[in-house]
Amino acid sequence: MAIISGLTGAVNGAIATRDWKIRHSNLVAPHIICANQGGVGRIPGAEDWTGVFHSYTGISGIPTALPGTLFTFTGDISGTATGGFQVEGAAIVDKLEIVVDIEGGKLVETTTFFSGDGTDSLTYTAGTGATPTAGLPIHSASSAGVYGHFNGAGVGNYTPALITDCRYLKVTITSNNRRYMTGGNAGRIQRTPGAIDAQFVYRVYATVGSPHDDMPSPGDIGQVQLFYTATNAWDLEEVIIEAINDLGIDKESGQGVGYEVMGSFRAYDGGTTGFIKYGNTASATEFWPG
């Protein structure tokens, strides 16, 4: 019997997704009672499932799949092939990770982590055989970069400027979704959206300056724009710098001097609520508070 390669599969018909995986489980309940004669018995417990997919885009292979968002996951295995199948179920997005490896010459990549919402069972049905058509453009990391301003002026008072010689950036957007199960869940784990958070990392080479002109200090507060193309970015205001990592020299290798900046989102500056936006900075979409 011929096997399925998966080369023509997709997630929700999105052309930019390159792979997907799920884990479908039952939280089996073990027990030991006298009738077991010293053995461990087990009965079915709550049904649950989680998944992940990767896409070559700046947000997600599924434009509506942002952290805390409910969506219907359709993982198609067959694509245009015959004899395949698809997996479908109600889901909620837990986290996005956007990685932009400029120095490595990689494509911009987003990893989407999600979990079952529990409103319906995960189903396995015959594949649609539809040709993937939806999705977002695929981007090279070559035109990416970081803009920042870390003077603690407060929300609405920052003027981000280019941080020179950026070679890598990563932004992680999460929703602290809460799982629960009640008598009305029909034996399935369900989830409700939680608090939104974000973290970021960028790596740069040091250039002449005393200290390096673009280097913030731990505890600095400001705004950062993480560009995954020349005009599209994840824009976080405010943020707080948590650490400067790996600053130093290696004389034997002769590697360029650089360092890593790590920071987190700060939703409120004590007087004004901040924001998380994405897309073209001239007309960005506000993800949070929305």
Domain coordinates in residue numbering, the chain: 10-24+43-288
Cβ atoms < 10 Å from Cβ of 252 = 6
Which residues, 6+ apart, have CB-to-CB distance to 129 below 8 Å? 78, 79, 80, 81, 82, 84
Contact yes or no for 247/286 (Cβ under 8 A): no
Beta strands 145-149 and 178-180, pairing class: unpaired
Three-state SS annotation for 206-245:
CCCCCCCCCCCCCCCEEEEEEECCCCEEEEEEEEEEEEEE
CA dist., res. 104 & res. 272, Å (int) = 39
Output the pTM of the full model.
0.91
Check: CB of residue 102 under 8 Å from CB of residue 166. Answer: yes
C-alpha torsion sign, points 231, 224, 198, 270: negative
| Intra-chain end-to-end CA distance of the chain, in Å | 51
pLDDT tens digits, 142-167: 889 999 999 999 999 999 999 989 99
Task: Give whole-number Cα distances, 265 to 154, 201, 225, 235, 244, in Å.
Answer: 13, 12, 12, 10, 16
> So what's the pLDDT on residue 76?
86
Contact 114, 104 (CB under 8 A): no
Q: What is the pLDDT of residue 163?
A: 92
The residue written with tokens 């990549």 in the block is: 109
Each residue's pLDDT tens digit in the chain (290 positions)? 667 777 778 888 787 788 999 999 998 989 888 888 889 989 998 899 999 999 998 888 887 789 999 999 998 887 555 556 889 999 999 999 999 999 999 999 999 999 999 877 788 887 665 566 666 788 899 889 999 999 999 999 999 999 989 999 999 999 999 999 888 888 889 999 999 999 999 999 987 765 566 789 999 999 999 999 999 999 999 999 999 999 989 899 988 889 999 999 999 988 899 999 999 988 999 999 97
Instruction: Identify the pLDDT of residue 128.
Output: 62
Burial class from Cβ neighbours inside 10 Å (0-12, 13-18, 19+) for residue 53 reads buried
Q: How many residues are listed for the chain in this entry?
A: 290
pLDDT at 290: 78
